[in-house]
A and B are shown apart, each in its own frame.
Chain A
Amino acid sequence: GNSVTQMEGPVTLSEEAFLTINCTYTATGYPSLFWYVQYPGEGLQLLLKATKADDKGSNKGFEATYRKETTSFHLEKGSVQVSDSAVYFCARDDRGSTLGRLYFGRGTQLTVWP
Chain B
Amino acid sequence: DVKVTQSSRYLVKRTGEKVFLECVQDMDHENMFWYRQDPGLGLRLIYFSYDVKMKEKGDIPEGYSVSREKKERFSLILESASTNQTSMYLCASSLDSTYEQYFGPGTRLTVT
Q: Is the interface of A mostly helix, strand, loop or mixed?
A: loop
Q: Is B25 an interface residue (CB 8 A)?
A: no
Contact check, A101 vs B104: say whether CB atoms are below 8 A apart: no
A43 contacts B105, C-beta separation under 8 Å? yes
Closest Cβ of chain B: how far from A4's Cβ, in Å? 9
Q: Quick check: A42 and B41 within 8 Å, CB to CB?
A: no
Question: Shortest Cβ distance from A103 into chain B, in angstroms?
Answer: 9
Nearest opposing residue in chain B for A46, CB measure:
B100
User: How many A residues, CB 8 Å from partner?
Assistant: 22
Is the beta-carbon distance between B99 and A93 smaller than 8 angstroms?
yes
Which residues in window 24-70 of B have CB below 8 A to A? 30-31, 33, 40-43, 45, 48, 50, 56, 58
Please give, as numbers and ranges, the residues of chain B lying within 8 Å of A94 by CB-CB distance: 99
Closest to A109 in B: B39
A77 within 8 A of B: no
Chain A residues with CB under 8 Å of chain B are 32, 34, 36, 41-46, 49, 89, 93-94, 98-102, 104-107
Q: List 16 A-B contacts (CB under 8 A).
A: A32-B99, A36-B103, A43-B4, A43-B90, A43-B92, A43-B104, A44-B43, A44-B90, A44-B103, A46-B101, A93-B99, A99-B50, A100-B48, A102-B99, A106-B41, A106-B42
- Please give me the 6 A-B residue pairs with the lowest Cβ-Cβ distance, nearest first: A43-B103, A106-B42, A93-B99, A100-B31, A44-B103, A104-B43
B binding-site residues for A, Cβ under 8 Å = 4, 30-31, 33, 40-43, 45, 48, 50, 56, 58, 90, 92, 94, 96, 99-106
